[in-house]
Structure 1
Amino acid sequence: MVNVIVELSKFVILTLMVVYTFHCFYMVKQQSEEERNESLRQQLMLIFFMDFTAFLVIYLKTGKFQVVTFYAEMMVFFAGIQILYRMLYKKASILLLNNMCMLLSVGFIILCRLDVATATRQLIIVTAVNLVALAVPVLIRKMKFLKDLTWLYAGVGILLLGAVLVLARTSYGAKLSLMGIQPSEAIKITFVFFMAALLRRGADFRTVVQATIVAGLHVGILVLSRDLGSAVIFFAAYLVMVYVATKNVGYLALGLGGGAAGSVIAYHLFGHVRQRVSAWKDPMAVYQNEGYQIVQSLFAIGTGGWFGMGLCQGSPEKIPVVKNDFIFSAICEELGGIFGICLILVCMSFFLMIVNIALKIKKPFYKLIALGLGTEYAFQVFLTIGGATKFIPMTGVTLPLVSYGGSSVASTVLMLAIIQGLYILREDEDEEIERQRRKEAAQRAGKTAEAQGSGNF
């Protein structure tokens, strides 16, 4: 009986995910506020039923009561964050909030299936960070001086990255963390704020040179630390923000050329890079060594097929670092390739929402922040999934909100809280424009009535 439930559950979970993904894009076309609210409520119900089905299966297969306890705690967290956002921020983007809950749900399901203790630690971190992040949108609205701290952002970022380079121990071939914390995750945010503050008043040649020097220091320290995934994310954010601020294709071409040259240099300088490229080119040839991870990842994805093996039916634990770098492979093995595609589409919906917010914001500082954070998010997703599927060499970054990792999930939650603040600012700007339009219309109507009265007299 349990096997029948497990077999049916994978189709139920897949159907719920497909419908949720459809809602993410369908809401773009909806104009009625009532229709949007109904779709948002349906999304919450889809998340609830998906979580219930998945954790029921995990409990039936493992028999661990800790799974039930974890599920109850997780649902309390989701209910609390949904209620608090609606109470504190009437103008918040509920679709953005729903997408965060969906991605966290997928991560909790897979982490709990792999190790309940790991999933519990992730939930504690997520809960604590979200409580802090609740204050971020109002700070974004009120703290107007953030745009004036340009060189403070740069100094803090370079100092912390330098400390990691000097003091951190090497782990998996790279220097990543100090005392269990990965500073590069937080510096992703300060770096974007630095770039936005520097480029907000214009982007002449002198300003671009300053931005390039500081960005080069960030990326250079990360390369020396062999944190190549973060280096690529920082470089991508720099390139996009400079191009948007200057609208100069020449800077974009120079940046891409410089990035390509830097990649070649890194390949010849670092054995760590050569190993990953070798594993990417022909993982079976180096299966016993550096190719083992990617081969196991591809085996897992291939074994899952379109519909997956079903929760607790696969062997994702055979993939090294599966909870961090290769969680997408575990998802595809047990929940299916179609589920994995839907997950990518939800991430894409996330990114498109951020770009839409950026395009509608009038103030350059906030516009550049939204674009920078959106670029970092999109590239991190691309690097993680691209590496797990052998589309690109592995870079060792996590899938935002899904993979296990305290620093990563904390940074992503704070980034999304900043985006919520920017969304609310955009709503404020729209309201101000509407008030101004009504005021001008009233003034015109008053002048017309006055002119007609004078004519009659």
Structure 2
Amino acid sequence: MDHLVMLISKYIMIFLFLIYTFECFHVFKFTENKEKQKSIYKKQRRNIFLLHFMGFLVIFISTLNPFIIGFYLMQVVLFSGIFLIYKMFYKKASELLLNNMCMFLSISFIIITRISVEKAMKQFMILVLAAIFSLLIPLTIRNVKFFRKFTWMYAAVGILSLLLILVAGRTSYGAKLSVSVLGFSFQASEFVKISFVFFVASMLEKNVDRKRLIITTSIAALHVLILIASKDLGSAFIFFVTYTMMLYVATENVLYLFGGFFSTFLGLFIASQLFSHVKQRIVAWKNPLSVIDKEGYQVCQSLFAIGTGGWFGLGLCQGRPDKIPVVVQDFIFAAISEELGGVFALCIIMICISCFLMILNISIEMKDSFYQMIALGLGTTYAIQVFLTIGGVTKFIPSTGVTLPLVSYGGSSLLSTMIIFGIIQGLYIIHYDRYIDNNKGSGTGKTNSQHVGGGINSESKYTLEEYD
């Protein structure tokens, strides 16, 4: 009987997730019908809670651990609280981004609890603090107008934080990634990527003359060089690509884009010659089976898990994700693929794309160049992090040790991603308040969206005084 419940639940979870994913894109068909959109968002939230319930039901049946019931109820209360607070105080926020965030969190707790209840409980405690903090961010972004004035503070805090990791950081898998503060492990690069985006945005939104570009590029390069010195090449790649995209959009000069990509590949080649752990990862990427007892073990186990799961998975609690080293962090996508299936894993990718497109759309819609660049930069960091994680797990690219946002275990990653989503929600509310509502008030009811590639310094952009 238990086996039958687990089998049926597997297909129910896949079906619910397929419907949810379809609605992420189907909702854009009803841009002029807000009532229909609200109905779709309500269905999505129902699917989140149903999928979450089915996952924990299977875990409880498999373990018969009564703590699972209480832990599940704690999560339900937290998710319900997040939805309620947004409904009460942020009625104009993006419901799609909110739903996607909570769906990722529910999947995260299902798979982490299945692997380690202890780690899931630690992650939950961090999530409570992250939720409280991030729920204040949209209000702060909406009402505080001097974020663009802290240009050099962003640079100083970012560089000093990365230098702290370089000097006193703890080495993990060949790279200095974190430092312990009062017993808590703190990965600075997860938060510096936010201050980095704010720094670049505040520099490039004013003007893009040669002197300013040289200064901005020099400070950005210093961030990247410190990360390279710490051997944190995954974060260095994220910073570099993010800056390249923001520079290209700010200047509209395609040479910067091509130059950035050329420099990226050149830097990766040099790193592969200088750092032994990078060489090992490249060997493991090229032919993991040839070094399966050493460098290739992690990648091989990941590929075995994905292959074993097939399209529909073995079922929750039926696989062996514990065979994959660092599975709840870098390789959680492989564990999901093994037990919930390739279809479920593809839906995760599609929802990540949905989040990125939504953030990119917010950047396109913004009329203030500073806010536009913030959205673009944060969206790029999110997209690149997803690409590096899933690419490494599937052997599309060498593993970089980057976590999957909102899904992987890790307090720094969880908190920083919650902050990013909070900032994006704040920008969405700003756009809604100052542009859409104004247009409705004037009787037009239309928006004149302008493509990001049109440049951030064009005359059609509002100045700070006009916009505020």
Query: If the TM-score is normalised by the length of the shorter chain, which range does it land in?
Result: over 0.9
For residues 9-24 of structure 1, the aligned pairs below 5 Å read 9-24=9-24
Aligned counterpart for 1:260 among listed residues 265, 269, 276: 265
> Cα offset for 1:300?
0.2
- 2:129 aligned residue: 128
> Cα offset for 1:435?
6.1
Percent identity over paired residues: 52
- 1:164 aligned residue: 165
Q: What one-letter code is carried by the residue in structure 2 that aligns with 1:3?
A: H
Q: What one-letter code is carried by the residue in structure 2 that aligns with 1:6?
A: M
Cα distance in structure 2, aligned partners of 1:271 and 1:133 = 39
Q: Give TM-score scaled by structure 1 length.
A: 0.95
> Cα offset for 1:348?
0.5
Helix, strand or coil for the counterpart of 2:55? helix
Q: Does 1:332 align with 2:333?
A: no
- 2:27 aligned residue: 27
Cα distance in structure 2, aligned partners of 1:140 and 1:52 = 34
- 1:292 aligned residue: 297
> Cα offset for 1:432?
5.5
For residues 387-398 of structure 1, the aligned pairs below 5 Å read 387-398=392-403
RMSD after superposition: 1.1
Which of the two has greater helix per residue? 1
Cα distance in structure 2, aligned partners of 1:301 and 1:265 = 32
Higher Rg:
1
Do the aligned residues in 2 keep the contact of 1:66 with 1:116 (CA within 8 Å)?
Answer: no
Do the aligned residues in 2 keep the contact of 1:13 with 1:53 (CA within 8 Å)?
Answer: yes
Q: Does 1:107 align with 2:112?
A: no
Listed as ranges, the gaps of 5+ residues in structure 1 are 440-457
For residues 356-371 of structure 1, the aligned pairs below 5 Å read 356-371=361-376
> Cα offset for 1:431?
3.9
> Cα offset for 1:436?
6.9
Do the aligned residues in 1 keep the contact of 2:60 with 2:69 (CA within 8 Å)?
Answer: yes
> Cα offset for 1:202?
2.1
Deviations, residues 117-149 of structure 1 (Å, cap 9, x unaligned): 111111111111111111111111222111011
Deviations, residues 229-252 of structure 1 (Å, cap 9, x unaligned): 111111111011000000100111
**Structure 1 435/305 Cα, relative in aligned 2: closer, same or farther at 3 Å?**
closer
Do the aligned residues in 2 keep the contact of 1:18 with 1:339 (CA within 8 Å)?
Answer: yes
Q: What one-letter code is carried by the residue in structure 2 that aligns with 1:17?
A: F
> Cα offset for 1:344?
0.4
- 1:452 aligned residue: none
> Cα offset for 1:169?
2.2
- 1:306 aligned residue: 311
Helix, strand or coil for the counterpart of 1:29? helix
Q: What one-letter code is carried by the residue in structure 1 that aligns with 2:150?
A: L
- Is the deviation greater in 111-120 or in 204-213? 204-213
Cα distance in structure 2, aligned partners of 1:432 and 1:364 = 20
Deviations, residues 322-343 of structure 1 (Å, cap 9, x unaligned): 0000000000000000000001
- 1:449 aligned residue: none
Listed as ranges, the gaps of 5+ residues in structure 2 are 445-468
Cα distance in structure 1, aligned partners of 2:332 and 2:381 = 19
Q: What one-letter code is carried by the residue in structure 2 that aligns with 1:256?
A: F
Q: Does 1:422 align with 2:427?
A: yes
Q: Does 1:272 align with 2:312?
A: no
- Is the deviation greater in 257-266 or in 340-349? 257-266
For residues 167-186 of structure 1, the aligned pairs below 5 Å read 167-179=168-180, 180-186=185-191
Q: Does 1:379 align with 2:380?
A: no
Q: Does 1:248 align with 2:267?
A: no
Cα distance in structure 2, aligned partners of 1:260 and 1:132 = 38
For residues 398-437 of structure 1, the aligned pairs below 5 Å read 398-431=403-436, 433-434=438-439, 437=442
Cα distance in structure 2, aligned partners of 1:127 and 1:100 = 14
Cα distance in structure 1, aligned partners of 2:29 and 2:215 = 42
Do the aligned residues in 2 keep the contact of 1:9 with 1:53 (CA within 8 Å)?
Answer: yes
Do the aligned residues in 2 keep the contact of 1:164 with 1:176 (CA within 8 Å)?
Answer: yes
> Cα offset for 1:429?
2.2
Deviations, residues 191-243 of structure 1 (Å, cap 9, x unaligned): 00000000001212222211211111111111111111111111111011000
Cα distance in structure 2, aligned partners of 1:66 and 1:219 = 44
Large movers: runs of 4+ above 3 Å: 435-439
Q: What one-letter code is carried by the residue in structure 1 that aligns with 2:289?
A: M
**Structure 1 27/432 Cα, relative in aligned 2: closer, same or farther at 3 Å?**
closer
- Is the deviation greater in 15-24 or in 195-204? 195-204
Helix, strand or coil for the counterpart of 1:175? strand
Aligned counterpart for 1:203 among listed residues 199, 205, 208: 208
Cα distance in structure 1, aligned partners of 2:82 and 2:161 = 31
Cα distance in structure 1, aligned partners of 2:69 and 2:355 = 30
Do the aligned residues in 1 keep the contact of 2:173 with 2:277 (CA within 8 Å)?
Answer: no
Deviations, residues 1-45 of structure 1 (Å, cap 9, x unaligned): 001111111100000000000000000111211101110110011
Helix, strand or coil for the counterpart of 1:176? strand
Q: Give TM-score scaled by structure 2 length.
A: 0.92
> Cα offset for 1:276?
0.5
Cα distance in structure 1, aligned partners of 2:347 and 2:169 = 37
Cα distance in structure 1, aligned partners of 2:441 and 2:26 = 32
Helix, strand or coil for the counterpart of 1:53? helix
Aligned counterpart for 2:240 among listed residues 230, 235, 241: 235
Aligned counterpart for 2:217 among listed residues 212, 216, 227: 212
Deviations, residues 390-440 of structure 1 (Å, cap 9, x unaligned): 00000001000000000000000000000000000110122464167349x
Cα distance in structure 2, aligned partners of 1:436 and 1:51 = 41
- 2:227 aligned residue: 222
Cα distance in structure 2, aligned partners of 1:335 and 1:169 = 34
Q: What one-letter code is carried by the residue in structure 2 that aligns with 1:244?
A: V
Do the aligned residues in 1 keep the contact of 2:241 with 2:260 (CA within 8 Å)?
Answer: no
Cα distance in structure 2, aligned partners of 1:116 and 1:47 = 21
- 1:92 aligned residue: 93
Cα distance in structure 1, aligned partners of 2:102 and 2:256 = 38
Cα distance in structure 1, aligned partners of 2:427 and 2:373 = 11
